[in-house]
Structure 1
Amino acid sequence: MIDKIKRIVEPVVQDFNAELVGVTLKGAKRNYILIVFVDRIGGVTIEDCTKISRQLSKEQELDDLLGNNYRLEVSSPGMDRPLKTPQDFKRNVGRFLEIEFEDKAGLHKLK
């Protein structure tokens, strides 16, 4: 079901010059919570997330898939999200990072 949701959500997110970073679906039928994570180089604003959310709420395909009684949340991935893909690193150029790694001597954090 997540793949179907991504196919519906991604073009809408791209219409706002943003990138779909992730989709999470919680709950069960008739009580789903759909969480959509978006970002772009330079970051997204609350206004961006609001506009994307409003547009997604008009997508009949989501209603057909999840039913009419689901909660939609659109947000940035957050500061504590691990960077995993080359695009994650590109979006975060110029931002301060905290790096955490573990070796034989234990856990280390760099800021």
Structure 2
Amino acid sequence: MRRSGSRMRLLLAAVFFLSATGLQAANPVYIKCAFKQGNGDPWPVMITADEANGLVTLLFEQNGRVSRMKASFGPELVKFGNGSIDYQLSRVDLKIQRYTAILRQTDTAQCVLAEPPKRAF
């Protein structure tokens, strides 16, 4: 009987740990980046990384375009794209690479964590 009590406590501790770590990944992370346009002007993009649902949403601030796509969340990189334009976001230093297939061009930008938007509900 004592063994089953120890196992039960160990099982409960494991369930608590896993649920607590799952909560950390449940909240989306907001990230601001700015790629450079051909003329050198910034092209700002707001990224919402939703690891719990395996999604990334891009909001291009200058034209209001929104793009939502599936993402692969690894320990160091988040990869997402549509085949025409693919991204790799570093979870270590927040640098992002964008590869544009038609141009065979890769460009890089530095990102920063952004505050979550204020909500009324």
The interval holding the TM-score normalised by the smaller chain is under 0.3
More helix by share: 1
Q: TM-score under structure 2 normalisation?
A: 0.24
More strand by share: 2
Q: TM-score under structure 1 normalisation?
A: 0.26
Bigger relative contact order (CA 8 A; separation at least 6): 1
